[in-house]
Amino acid sequence: MTNRRFPEEPTYDPNKVLDAIIERLQLKNDAALSRALEVAPPVISKIRHRTLPIGATILLRMHEISDFSIRELRAMMGVPAVSINLNA
């Protein structure tokens, strides 16, 4: 099995968003964050070590519990906003 890292963007840093949520919710650590997000603790570890990307489901859950907008969460991660051309 290969050790893939997601995504390959040079500015991508999932730790910023995880730390911001911990701070906003005044959580003690990643274990408390995993409980708040309702995911297993290894999921947070894999996200921190960039072996698991932050997917849509967990991004939505982050939005729900933190009241950060999806745009704010993506910006914290270093993921550019997706532009949609509605005139195409």
Alpha-carbon distance of 9 to 86, in angstroms, equals 26
Residue with more model confidence, 42 or 86: 42
Please identify which residue in the block is written with the tokens 């070590």: 49
Q: What's the pTM value of the predicted model, to 2 decimals? A: 0.79
Answer whether 54's CB lies under 8 Å from 63's CB. Answer: no
Question: What integer pLDDT is reported at residue 88 of this predicted model?
Answer: 53
Per-residue tokens: 39: 């995911």
Angle (CA) 44 47 50, round 5°:
150
Q: Which two tokens stand for residue 33?
A: 């964050």
Token pair listed for 19: 């730390």
Average pLDDT over residues 5-9: 54
Which residue, chain included where needed, has tokens 């650590």? 29
15-70 tens-digit pLDDT: 999 999 999 999 999 999 999 999 999 999 999 999 999 999 999 999 999 999 99
